[in-house]
Amino acid sequence: MKKILTFIIALAALPVAAQAQTWNPSAAELQAMQAKADPERGEALFTACVGCHKKDATGRSSGAYPRLAGQHFTVLLKQMKDIKAGLRTNPKMAPYIEDHISDVGEMADVAVWLTALPIPEDRIGRGPGTSVDAGKVLFERDCAQCHGQKGEGDAARFYPMVAAQHYRYLLREMHFIRDGDRGNSNPDMVKVIKPYREADLEALADYMSSLPPPAPAK
Amino acid sequence: MKSLAYQPQSGVVRALAAAGVSLLLGLGLAGAAQANETAKTVCAGCHGPQGDAPIAPTFPNLAGLQKEYIVKQLNDFISGKRKNDMMAPIVADLKPEDIGPIAEYFSQQKPTSGKAENRMAASAGKVLYNQGNDESGVPACVGCHQEKGGGYIGPTAIYPRIAGQQVEYVKQQLKDFASGARANDPSRFMRTTAKRMTEEEIEEVAQYLVGVGE
């Protein structure tokens, strides 16, 4: 009986999970959301986030908090949505976003504010610089197809800009993705990164963090 | 979003508010004087005449706290949103029209600070205050409470002045936020944050704050 009950509960939960995972707005819908979003409201909401991400949204070189400034609108939106929904495992951020940001509209406001913030040229958080060349080879072979030759990402496909991101943050997330701890990883990326060893991940992070900030995200 | 209540309002609203203040000044001088009397007698009994001489270590220093913050706390004591056995019977006797003037009175008193008993802890507290704890996910206090702990009226919440606050009061509030005994923080931000702090960190940040002045 207990087993049947569990099964029924699991079945009932399925459509919700499926729906959340298949959130797939069209490019036009995303553009409309971005156009409608209110950066001033986003700035106001973001004031509660600066204890971690910093006022200029450049994050921390410790890797605990990523740089959000200049990231693609679509990427910011999707990640906020996934963290709030529990699809992306982020126990540090989840309780803060849970009550503070009430819906996708507010997420869009925050995202539209952040995407327009400048990425500082003389930024903190680069890697040691010792395996940039090795990282470049790997990046161009395995990553550039999705994340772009310059690490600029792809807004339409929710692929983040990885150029000029903090070394330690990149390293942490690659570990999470490879080891299945991130929750909302792209399955294709999991396959690509699976055979990567520690030195490979470090080289990749070294390279990506050394890339100059691409032109402002659209 | 629940509250952008503290965002600057439209000109009309501001004009109306100004008119309200004038009205209060015109008709309510007697009321304001009464509220001042309440502040100096009733509140002063525990917090000191200027609010900066609490009679117990766990009672807060009120001098220079934001008016909006005091108003919110008094209203939360009245509604039971903030629970406190000592404050509850006292605020029950408060006239609603006295809340604003009482808050105004204490907000205008000169802020004071004390001296950290444990300077080692205070300097560790300063680091935590400014950088947070990346490992456990404690945000940097400075993000909301500002440099020098002055706080500000943020667009989505009021961040109180915490500079110069009593050590034991700060520690008690952080412990109460952590346990949920105090639960009147917007979006549970302080509950989430305090829960991640170790007892040592709570001591450190309290030791730091007491010595922060202008």
Closest residue to B155, CB basis, from A47, A51, A106: A47
Q: Report CA torsion sign: B90, B93, B96, B102.
A: negative
Q: Is B28 exposed, middle or buried (0-12, 13-18, 19+ CB in 10 A)?
A: middle
Closest residue to A48, CB basis, from B137, B142, B156: B156
Q: Backbone phi, then psi, for B158, in 5-degree steps?
A: -95, 125
So what's the pLDDT on residue A136? 98
| Complex ipTM | 0.86
Does residue B84 register a pLDDT over 90?
Answer: yes
CA dist B89 → B79, B83, B84, B86, B200 (Å): 12, 11, 9, 7, 34
So what's the pLDDT on residue A121? 81
So what's the pLDDT on residue A14? 47
Q: What is the pLDDT of residues A11-44, one digit of tens each?
A: 444 444 444 456 789 999 999 999 999 999 999 9
Q: What is the CA radius of gyration of chain A?
A: 18
Q: What is the pLDDT of residues A120-157, one digit of tens each?
A: 887 789 999 999 999 999 999 999 999 999 999 999 99
- Smallest Cα distance from B38 to chain A, Å: 35
Q: Backbone phi, then psi, for B130, in 5-degree steps?
A: -90, -25
Across the interface, do B4 and A44 touch by the CB < 8 Å criterion? yes
Residues of B in contact with A44 (CB under 8 A): 4, 7, 155-156
pLDDT range class, residue B214, cuts 50, 70, 90: low
Per DSSP, the three-state class of B133 is strand
- Smallest Cα distance from B139 to chain A, Å: 5
Which chain B residue is nearest to residue A61, measuring alpha carbons?
B134
Across the interface, do B187 and A96 touch by the CB < 8 Å criterion? yes
pLDDT range class, residue B210, cuts 50, 70, 90: very high
